[in-house]
Amino acid sequence: MSDAAQNAAPADVNDLFDLTIIGAGPVGLFGTFYAGMRGMKVKLIDSLAELGGQLSALYPDKYIYDMAGFPKVVAKDLVRDLSAQALQFAPTVCLEEKVMTLTKTDEGFALGTDKGVTHRTKTVLITAGVGAFAPKKLEKAEFARFEGHGLHYVIPKLEIFKGRRVLVVGGGDSAVDWALALNEIASEVTLIHRRDSFRAHEDSVKKLHASTVRVMLFHELEDITGDGAVNGAVVYDNRSKEKTTLALDDVVVNFGFLANLGPIKTWGLNLEKISLVVNQQMETNIEGVMAAGDITTYPGKLKLIVTGVGEATMAVCTAKMRCDPKASYFPGHSSGNAAFGEGGH
C-alpha cells in the first residue's frame, strides 16, 4: 500500500457511505477529492495494491505532457499529488479488493468483493478504466522465458536501463516516448517499427528523428537471444527479408494493452463494446450508478486524464443531488470554499 493510502481513514466496512468509487486511477482519485469537497462520506476501492491506476501500474516514470497546469509531469508524481489531494478529506480506502457484484438494495447498493466483504453505499461511481488490463505480448511462447530477464512489457523504473543497450519495439506513442526517455539514460537505443510511419504525436516523432535513437522502419522482431538473460535480438526488414543481429541488454515491447471489464459486464449496465454508456450527468442506465473516465462512452468522448477528471466532477455532483435532493448541482468555486479556510465568496 502506498504511504498516501496508509494515511487514509481505516475502512469501516459496515458503515453506509454516500458514495463508493470503484477504481483508484486518476479519475477515481479526483472524484474522491471532489466528493470530500462536497461533504460526502466516500469510500474508494481498487483491486491493485497501489493508488494511481494505469499511471502507477503501466507507466510510472513516463512524462505526461497534456495535463492542465503542468508543462510536463512524471506519471508517479501526478499520482502522488492526486493522492494527497484525494486523501485530504480522509476517505475510506480499500486496496487489493476487486468489486465482483453490484446489487440494488433499499438504501442504495451492496457491493460484493473478492475478499468476501459487502460494502453498503447510497450511490456508486465506476471509474474502473479499462478494467483489469494486461499488455499484449509477443506471439512466440518461447520468449516468455526472458520476461524479468531483459524482456519488458511495462517499465516500472527507468533507472534500471542506465548504461544498457535497449531495443524498443512498436510504432505508437508509447514506443516513441519510451525510446526518447530511454535515450537519456541507456547507452544505446534502437527502435524498430513494422511500418514507415508512426501512430504517435507529431511533435514526439519530430523529436525522435532529431534524436540519436537508431530508428529502423519496416523492421520486425524475429528472435531474442540469450542464455538466461537477453543478450541480443535478430530483426528483419519485412520488404527485403534481410536480417540484422543486434547486441542488446533489454527488449521493450509496446504493442498496447488488452482490456477486460471482468465482473462489471454482468451488472446490467448498458455497454457499447467495453465502455459504459453515460448521459451528460455521467449517469448509467442504473439510477444511482454513475461512471467517469476511460470506462465511459458518449458522443465526443476522449480517453484522456484531463477529460476524465472533469467527468468525475460532474458524476460526484450528480451523486450529491441523489444523496441530498436539496443540494445544488453546482457547488460554487473551490477558491471560495470554507473547507479551504477562506470563507465564502
Those residues with Cβ within 8 angstroms of residue 40's Cβ, 6 or more apart along the chain or in another chain: 18, 19, 316, 319, 320, 323
Residue of the chain from 294, 313, 318, 323 that contacts ligand FAD (CB under 6 A): 294
Site for ligand FAD in 14-53 (CB under 6 A): 22-28, 45-48, 53
Q: Which three cell numbers stand for residue 196?
A: 514507415
| Residues touching ligand FAD, count (CB under 6 A) | 37
Yes or no: say if 208 and 191 are a contact pair by the CB < 8 Å rule.
yes
CB of 61 to ligand FAD, least distance (A): 11
Rounded-to-integer distance, Cα 59 and Cα 61, Å: 6
Q: Whose Cβ is closer to ligand FAD: residue 70's or residue 218's?
A: 70
Site for ligand FAD in 113-132 (CB under 6 A): 127-131
Q: Whose Cβ is closer to ligand FAD: residue 185's or residue 304's?
A: 304
Rounded-to-integer distance, Cα 219 and Cα 230, Å: 19
Closest by Cα among 233, 236, 188 to 211: 188
CB of 103 to ligand FAD, least distance (A): 14
Rounded-to-integer distance, Cα 70 and Cα 284, Å: 32
191 binds ligand FAD (CB under 6 A): no
Would you tell me how many other CB atoms lie within 10 Å of the CB of residue 103?
Answer: 10
Please, what sign has the CA dihedral across residues 139, 144, 145, 147? positive
Site for ligand FAD in 201-260 (CB under 6 A): none
Residue 251, strand partner residues: 151, 167
275 binds ligand FAD (CB under 6 A): no
Cell 482519485 identifies what position? 29
Yes or no: say if 168 and 179 are a contact pair by the CB < 8 Å rule.
yes
Which residue's Cβ lies closest to ligand FAD?
129
Q: How far apart are the first and last CA of the chain?
A: 38
Continuous H helices in 97-238:
173-183, 202-210
Q: Whose Cβ is closer to ligand FAD: residue 171's or residue 293's?
A: 293
CB of 257 to ligand FAD, least distance (A): 6
Q: Whose Cβ is closer to ligand FAD: residue 99's or residue 167's?
A: 99
Q: Whose Cβ is closer to ligand FAD: residue 111's or residue 323's?
A: 111
Q: Which three cell numbers stand for residue 248?
A: 542488446
308 binds ligand FAD (CB under 6 A): yes
Site string for ligand FAD, 161-180 (x = CB under 6 A): -------------x------
CB of 64 to ligand FAD, least distance (A): 4
Q: Which three cell numbers stand for residue 213?
A: 535513437
Residue of the chain from 304, 321, 324, 327 that contacts ligand FAD (CB under 6 A): 304
Distance of CA 43 to the CA centre of its chain: 19
Q: Of the listed pieces 85-93, 180-188, 189-197, 298-306, which binds ligand FAD according to CB under 6 A? A: 298-306
Interface residues toward ligand FAD, by CB under 6 A: 22-28, 45-48, 53-55, 58-59, 62, 64, 66, 98-99, 127-131, 174, 262-264, 293-294, 303-306, 308
